[in-house]
Amino acid sequence: MKVPHLVAAEVTPPILLRAWQSVVGRLRRDGRAPEQAGQKDAAWYDKAFASVPEYRVHYTQSGYYFLWSVISDRIVRSGVERVLDLGCGPGQFASLLYDKGIRAYRGLDLSSTSVEMARKRCPGFEFLVQDLGKPDALQGFAYDCIVTLEFLEHVHFDLDVIQRIRPGTKFFATVPNFPYVSHVRHFTDAAQVSLRYQSYFSEFTVDDFLENEVGKTFFLMEGVKA
């Protein structure tokens, strides 16, 4: 039987695992206990984005590229014109969308560090620092598509965000099957993902993407906001 923290290490993506290990290492050197898993603040994400080299590489070098390729293709094929990206990170996925021909885009993220990185990486797009827990966070941009990749599992207010999406909006999102220090939740299978989110959408599907032999999986949701 494997020790739980070793299992988590096997299934956690390297880009996240290194960020977590960096934070834990600093805490131990300072004589503090490692932090508990749960929702984190902007300062925590600023440190993570600043300290992990993978956030600075071209999107083709990211461990998420295999999944981003599928999502960007689906977005382009859907015919949407205005993409609002919730939890946009340092702009790697945005750069892929730009290269795919998307031109109307706004990215929102809690971390000012990630937004600064995104602006430098993809100057043709708009990126804003935004607390997505605020009721008016999705206003001010005429979107017809919401994309949110590896964000919903990080916050307690995921369902509040989804409820605020405009009806008729095309929706793409991913959530994982693995724990992490900044995760509020994760999902064991596609059925569990559907149970939490399906009622908010029509034409809703969940596809699972296995990344490695130990079972690390991402669930890709697609639908239209009801």
What is the structure's pLDDT at 35? 75
Q: Is residue 18 part of a domain?
A: no
Helices 42-51 and 112-121: angle between axes, nearest 10 degrees:
40
Q: What CATH number is associated with residue 181?
A: 3.40.50.150
User: What is the tens place of the pLDDT at every residue in 106-120?
Assistant: 999 999 999 999 999
Q: Is residue 131 part of a domain?
A: yes
- Over the chain, what is the mean pLDDT? 90
pLDDT score of 27 more than 50: no
User: What is the tens place of the pLDDT at every residue in 65-77?
Assistant: 999 999 999 999 9
Domain extent, residue 110, equals: 59-225
Q: Is residue 104 part of a domain?
A: yes
Measured distance CA(191)–CA(179) in Å, rounded: 18
pLDDT score of 19 more than 70: no
Measured distance CA(91)–CA(212) in Å, rounded: 25
Contact 46, 19 (CB under 8 A): no
pLDDT score of 23 more than 50: no
Q: Is residue 181 part of a domain?
A: yes
Measured distance CA(162)–CA(165) in Å, rounded: 5
Q: Is residue 193 part of a domain?
A: yes
Total domains in the chain come to: 1
Q: Is residue 71 part of a domain?
A: yes
- Among 93, 111, 112, 110, smallest CA distance to 102 is for 93
